[in-house]
Each structure stands twice: as C-alpha cells, then as structure tokens.
Amino acid sequence: MLDDKPEMRIALMCLEPGQKLDPHKAPLRLLMYVVEGKGTFTVGEEKIEADEKTCLPCDPMVPHGFAADKGERLVVMAIVTPGD
C-alpha cells in the first residue's frame, strides 16, 4: 500500500509470471495502471491485453482482475476512490 486515505487508496501489486488476481467486484471507482510487464485484464465482460503505460478504468461494481503473462512479471498500480 503506497497511500491509504478515505478519499483515495493507492496500491502497487506485483505478480510473477502466471500469477493472477481473480475478477471481483467492489463499490469503488478504480484505475489500473501498468507500470511494468504485460498481462490480461478483465473489466466487466471484456478481456484486454495490456502492457506498460496502459491505463484501465473500472466503474464501481464492475468485475475486474488481471493475470501476468507467462514469462512476464506484471506490476500494476491501482488507484481507488469512493464510488459515489
């Protein structure tokens, strides 16, 4: 966790090749930013191949998750704000 305040939370997540964060829902607004590597992101029903410097927004209660590609470490910065 890089910062954790009521108005905004910033987290840095590092996944080794083949690891994943299963899709889940949250009542928060989210922006995922790829810092390093490549991966497959889920936003709602959509699967998105993304690499460095890609931003992926996600509205509240929309399923989201990601997986590191084989052979690639994936580093994602997530910025979370209240959904309302």
> How does pLDDT run along the chain (84 residues), one tens digit per residue?
999 998 999 999 999 999 999 999 999 999 999 999 999 999 999 999 999 999 999 999 999 999 999 999 999 999 999 876
Question: CB within 8 A of 60, min separation 6: which ones?
Answer: 26, 27, 28, 29, 83
| Confidence at residue 56, expressed as pLDDT on a 0 to 100 scale | 98
| Confidence at residue 20, expressed as pLDDT on a 0 to 100 scale | 96
CATH number assigned to the domain comprising residue 62: 2.60.120.10
Domain tally, the chain: 1
| Confidence at residue 33, expressed as pLDDT on a 0 to 100 scale | 98
Domain of residue 48 covers 3-82
